């Protein structure tokens, strides 16, 4: 039986998390169908149909899905569930919000945040902020899975799936969106950036983050932060890289004034090249770094900026 992937999008653009989830789904159960649930989102379905390995795109285009609320979207997924062996979503805020509702009503367990599909029944997922990895067998029931997108490659383009319109499911009418306040930054999005520069507690204040931001703007990088920096109020929560924040895997990750708590490492250790700048030479961040600079960041960052100007 086929597997169903819940597409991640913003009603205009398909997020690359979808293609990565398709990669995972293809290893679980084929063919793969993609569900695009949203409002005025036909264009997103057009983008999804070109993902290689997708046989069919199901389009549920209805105002009730505009804000991707868990109650109506879970009801929609449940209306389609009988035809599928496996239902997968990326482990994004939406996927994490919606899928456990589906699992509970189907009376099956959910596998959260898988990082590998060893066989159609065997999966790996991190626990304890990545301090340990579970190998789990799920057999004899429908598989409900969220996928860590940094752990899977995007499925290539070149597909030619059919688009099929599906009827909206009954809206339980329990919730509605009042407002949305999306951060509009000139800088690239954390999970999509080629370079990420993150600051930690070592920055000492909100004002000092300007040192990070200036280098970010020079490099065209996204700005990230450790939980300590977020907790201290230096930067907003959506900058947090780590166990309970964003999981990133850019070409270049620069960690400044971040000691490297396991919770933070869990969010960035799969980056291609890692740079650490920290004054404590025993900081655990150096254990995962390709290039380490033991220095006071208040000296090192202005020097770094100057060197970039040359």
Partner 1 sequence: MKVLVPVKRVIDFNVAVRVKADRSGVDLTNVKMSINPFDEIAVEEAVRQKEKGKVTEIVAVTIGPAAAQETLRNALAMGADRAILVKHDAELEPLAVAKLLKAVCAQEQPGLIILGKQAIDDDCNQVGQMLAALLGWPQGTFAAQLEIQPDKIQVTREVDGGLQTVELKLPAIVTTDLRLNEPRYASLPNIMKARKKPIQEKTVADYGIDPAPRLKILEVTAPEKGRSGVRVTSAAELVEKLRERGLI
Positions in 17-76 near partner 1 (CB under 8 A)? 67, 69-71, 74
136's CB contacts (< 8 A; 6+ apart) are 111, 122, 123, 124, 125
Contact 151, 166 (CB under 8 A): no
Q: Does 113 bind partner 1 (CB under 8 A)?
A: yes
Q: Does 183 bind partner 1 (CB under 8 A)?
A: yes
Exactly one of 178, 186, 207, 282 binds partner 1 (CB under 8 A); that residue is: 178
- Min dist CB 28 to partner 1, Å, is 15
| Residue closer to partner 1, measured from CB, 11 or 243 | 243
| Residue closer to partner 1, measured from CB, 161 or 219 | 219
Contact 198, 254 (CB under 8 A): yes
Q: Does 13 bind partner 1 (CB under 8 A)?
A: no
| Residue closer to partner 1, measured from CB, 57 or 197 | 197
279-308 binders of partner 1 (CB under 8 A) = 286-295, 300-301, 303-304, 306-308
Give the gyration radius of the chain's Cα atoms.
21
Q: Does 97 bind partner 1 (CB under 8 A)?
A: yes
- Min dist CB 275 to partner 1, Å, is 7
Exactly one of 12, 42, 176, 206 binds partner 1 (CB under 8 A); that residue is: 176
Other CB atoms within 10 A of residue 154 CB: 16
| Residue closer to partner 1, measured from CB, 133 or 157 | 133
Number of residues this chain uses to bind partner 1 (CB under 8 A): 92
DSSP state of 305: H
DSSP state of 14: B
Contact 247, 148 (CB under 8 A): yes
Strands 132-137 and 122-127: antiparallel
Query: Pseudo-torsion of CA 212, 213, 215, 217, nearest 10°?
Result: 160
117-136 binders of partner 1 (CB under 8 A) = 122, 126-136
Q: Does 165 bind partner 1 (CB under 8 A)?
A: no
Instruction: Tell the residue number behind the tokens 């070592």, with chain if given.
Output: 202
Q: What angle do CA 115, 121, 127 make, to 5 degrees?
A: 35
196-225 binders of partner 1 (CB under 8 A) = 219
Strand partners, 273: 252
- Min dist CB 2 to partner 1, Å, is 22
């Amino acid at each position: 039986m086929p597997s169903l992937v819940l597409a991640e999008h913003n009603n205009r653009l398909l997020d690359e998390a979808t293609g990565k989830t398709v990669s995972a789904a293809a290893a679980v159960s084929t063919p793969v169908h993609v569900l695009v649930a949203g409002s005025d989102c036909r264009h997103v379905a057009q983008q999804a149909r070109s993902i290689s390995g997708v046989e069919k795109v199901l389009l549920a285009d209805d105002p009730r899905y505009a804000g991707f609320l868990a109650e109506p979207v879970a009801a929609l997924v449940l209306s389609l569930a009988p035809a599928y062996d496996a239902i997968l979503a990326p482990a994004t805020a939406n996927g994490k919000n919606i899928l456990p509702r589906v699992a509970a009503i189907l009376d099956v367990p959910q596998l959260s945040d898988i990082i590998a599909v060893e066989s159609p029944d065997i999966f790996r997922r991190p626990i304890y902020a990545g301090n340990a990895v579970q190998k789990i067998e799920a057999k004899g029931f429908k598989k409900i899975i969220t996928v860590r997108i940094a752990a899977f490659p995007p499925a290539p383009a070149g597909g030619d799936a059919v688009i099929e319109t599906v009827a909206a499911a009954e809206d339980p009418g329990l919730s509605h969106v009042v407002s949305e306040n999306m951060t509009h930054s000139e800088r690239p999005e954390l999970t999509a950036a080629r370079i990420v520069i993150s600051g930690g507690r070592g920055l000492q204040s909100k004002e000092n983050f300007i040192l990070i931001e200036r280098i970010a703007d020079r490099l065209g990088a996204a700005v990230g932060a450790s939980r300590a920096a977020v907790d201290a109020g230096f930067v907003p929560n959506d900058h947090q890289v780590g166990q309970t924040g964003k999981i990133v895997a850019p070409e270049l990750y620069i960690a400044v004034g971040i000691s490297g708590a396991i919770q933070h490492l869990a969010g960035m250790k799969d980056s291609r090249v890692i740079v650490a700048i920290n004054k404590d030479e025993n900081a655990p961040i150096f254990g995962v770094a390709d290039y380490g600079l033991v220095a006071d960041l208040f000296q090192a960052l202005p020097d770094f900026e100057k060197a970039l100007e040359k």
